[in-house]
Structure 1
Amino acid sequence: MNRRDRALRHYERELARLRSESGSIEHAVAWEKLKLEARIKPEPEAGWPPLFRDKHVHIGSLIHLWRGVARETEDRLAGQGLETFLDIGPWGGFNFVVSPDGYTRMKFARLTLGVGSLASTPLEESGGPFFDTFMPIYKDRLAREGLVVPEEWQYKNPKRDASGRLLELSHIYYFPWHTYDNRSFVKVRLSREFETYEEIMVWDFLELLARLHYTTDWAAYRQETKDVDVRFDLQDFISLSHIMEGVYRRTEKEERLLQEIKEAFRGAIRERAVLYEYLDRVVQSKWVENLYWAVVGVVLGIRKYERTVSFGPEIQTRPLPPQLLIPVKRHVTAYHERIGALRP
């Protein structure tokens, strides 16, 4: 059975399950259909630029490489009787780091991928069939492009549910020059909690958004948070908020601030005064608050300040609200198609 047939069979099973549940299923069905379309969409094979150019990475070529490795991995696992679907893509929003030619502004930037999979995908702290199959293919493809990664990979960041079941695991290679302040690594992050990598990013973004939104004492935040962690909070907010562009349109003031911060991340942001100036401006602009209420509005259909919201129970649910995931996946898919078309 080929990938298309496996995807159609899984889609039919999911529809049957949804129809057996109570309540409105319109958004849930639309979400399943969107996942199906992504699984069966053909991938163009020709015309991709070199993956690396002086250690800068062409994001379109990188995503293409990842998808090819994922589909080969799926087929090999299916041959072993392990059926799953691997939804694969870059973690974060590449409007933060991509130049007009499609290459990253920073060397080796964003060699981090998220992989969503079915809940039935085998996973253990020492890896499992996915990593055993995916990693040799991935390393071989990188080597063909000129990046030979040593075998010094580590399993990191296990995530478990309340019962102790392993939901997520990362396989990471740290480059010799990696430090906590200057992070440089290749990372494969597998989740069997979420079927798509957009869900992984949405979950991460909602956690960060809630933490920032409910921070009321920013003086205490400065005292209790290392400068480098403040910088990465700001970087992750800027990067991940990109995936919400299908949900929220930035104000002109926020857009100008975004462009300034992007330029500052070329180096100036490492100066403490510059870092905290931009943090203060983000807080004062109400950007965090505006995004918070945009997400709440999409999920709950209520207006800003209409009522108090219990963010965890109402927004950051398991599974995540499909009415939020649908515009996110549509936006991210369209964005990746645009940057994939960028050429030197």
Structure 2
Amino acid sequence: MVVGIFSAGADVVKALLRFYGSLLHYWVRRGSYADCPFFSDDLHAKTYVYSIALLNPLWSQPHYRHPSFYKDLVTNLRNVAIPGTGVPLSIVSSSRLILFPFLLFVYPWLCAIGAFFELSKEYSNQQGSIAERFLCTFTQIFVCPQNWFAFWRVNCHVVSLHSLKTDSPGYIMENKWDFLIEAEKNGIAVSPHLKTPGSLVIKDRNEEGGMGIFIFKNAVAGGDWIIQEKLDNSPFLKKLLPEVSPLSTFRIITASRHGLGKAEALKDGSNGIKSLSCVFRAGLEGAATDHKSIMFDVDMESGKILKGSTTTHWYRVGPHHMLRATSAWNTTLPTTRTLVFLLRAT
């Protein structure tokens, strides 16, 4: 037991030194990813820490959705909080003077707190003493996190870098309106939108005078708003969901080799496109969208709905969510036999 604790403690020290060494390499020495001498034996950790380091060089660079990466960062984090804090991460990201000291001095302590709440979870290493498991879990959360938020931010940062370096026109499709227009041109089925009226006026039926009035200019007329009728779930999905639930979707992730050229994409007789995974986002009772959902893995061969996980606890913003210690960073849930109960109770 003592040997195990000592080994796990040594891994913690090594992870901390490598973490700070990596940021020194990227931020002070302005070194490259390829030349970084830290985490050379751990691709996951090296990529994750690099994604954190990208915050500095990307900060004021143009973004495909906003004038700058910083603007996109703050916009995306305004509804997200570290579970149990209730504090929107947009506050932490509002300035370099806040964010970078936070990453250097507060982030490791948050990982330690997260490791404590993960001890009883499937995510942690069940072998060894509590102290050893805590140290191992801390190291994993700190530099090799498996939670949704970490993977989401790695994706956002790396994709932002790719967009900046390549200036690929494909990123135009991140704009919902441009995507709908191009899909219609190419005969691809998408959610229908109202082409008239040019503007829509929404009024509160009980507010006095000219108050409670909102005017939305249709994107068709050059405005910022795509106006659509609300879509409902299919009869099959309604049987799986609570009575009052949002539109719930199946999300399929695909990969294409066509960016490598036609010859490479079509080699081995394939069409160059492959489905990687599928998830059923089952919206929670009373939610407006399936962002608040339980996400069930779907076996693409059999169509069977498997175990689910949720990210809802990352969207609990506000003082009433502070100190909700039951909000672990990772949540894996049972199979579909308890589907409707979970959607109502979560």
TM-score, normalized by length of structure 2?
A: 0.22
Say which structure is richer in helix: 1
TM-score, normalized by length of structure 1?
A: 0.22
Max Rg structure: 2
